[in-house]
Amino acid sequence: MKKSIAVIFLVFGALACSESGSNNSNSETVQKALIKAPELNADSVYSFVKAQVDFGPRVPNSKAHQDAADYFVDKFKSYGAKVVIQEFEDQNYEGKTLKLKNIIASFNPAVKKRILLAAHWDTRQFADKDNENVYAKLDGANDGASGVAVLLEVARVISANEGPNVGVDIILFDGEDGGEHEDMASVPFTGGKESWWCLGSQYWSKNKHVGNYTAFYGILLDMVGASGATFYQDTISKRNAQRIVDKVWGNAKQLGYGKFFIDKPGLELTDDHLFVNKYARIPMIDIIDMRKGTAFVPEHHTQNDTMDAIDKNTLKAVGEVLLSVLYNE
């Protein structure tokens, strides 16, 4: 997971009246009784995190990267999804060619109204925030694997139950976490990119897997598995999709997960939703752990981002909120 741009705390009133929503939508969402969604299995989500970590660091061009991709495709197909593998090459900030794959799994592909869910599946290539070795490999249990695990569980639940009344598309974006080393100055962009981060979402947003694809809205998951997680509302989400922010955080409150989903603004982020909003023109929000709304988790981009950092309670909260949103459309 990428870099933050700024801390925003003073513009809540203006943002709440953005073109994508208003304070009224929040009030209506909170008061509306929710249809109960099918049960999520927290142990299952946890096992999906572990399966990814067991492959090793999922750095592009590595065997672990290929093995993980095969695993995702097999899992989605076993759940009855229509799977598209979007293969492409891009260059990183060093000029190295990366072989990348966005993996798209679609449920109810004939349904016109669609909801887009996403997470990145690659791992940061070095632990550049580590206290000991800033070029060490890292597991990426939270930063990468946790979001993917929740989406795999959503796919499993949909396959095992009567699905929601909407089509669901799950995109696992590749090449999200390969930006410059923390100690480096910014490197000028090439090839029409706006960032060395989020390569998969930049590519997909300009080259959709289906040419005329669109979705009613999108939800991005990033770092959603750590103990004590707090999901503040990032500025890009509020600016582009306030109504969806209200819906998700309102559902979370009704489900009793208000301690995780904090109804306050937080950081402005360069994350995959930035490019989905800008180029795909799909209003997408980001559910991402921000401690006190101003910083990422202590394990971020360190060797401590292991299974020890993962909490089933956090995974369960995020997964149940996501299923609630889908089944209440």
Among residues of the chain, what percentage have pLDDT more than 70?
Answer: 91
pLDDT digits (tens, 9 = 90+) for 267-325: 999 999 999 999 999 999 999 999 999 999 999 999 999 999 999 999 999 999 999 99
Q: Give the residue, 14 or 138, on which the prediction is more confident.
A: 138
Given a cut of 90, whether residue 144 has pLDDT beyond it is: yes
Residue 1's pLDDT band, with cuts at 50, 70 and 90, is low
Residue 116's pLDDT band, with cuts at 50, 70 and 90, is very high
Mean of per-residue pLDDT scores for the chain: 92
Both structure tokens of 234: 């990032």
Residue type at position 70 = D
Determine contact, residues 117/170, Cβ cutoff 8 Å.
Answer: yes
* Ramachandran bin of 27, using left for φ above 0, alpha for ψ from -120 to 50, beta for the remaining angles: alpha
User: How far apart, in whole angstroms, are the C-alpha atoms of residue 23 and residue 27?
Assistant: 6
Given a cut of 80, whether residue 136 has pLDDT beyond it is: yes
Buried/exposed code over 83-112 (b: 16+ C-beta within 10 A; e: otherwise): bbebebebebbeeeebebbbbbbbbbeeee
Determine contact, residues 11/271, Cβ cutoff 8 Å.
Answer: no
Given a cut of 70, whether residue 17 has pLDDT beyond it is: no
- Closest by CA position to 309, among listed 229, 221, 220, 252: 229
Q: What is the DSSP letter of 197?
A: S
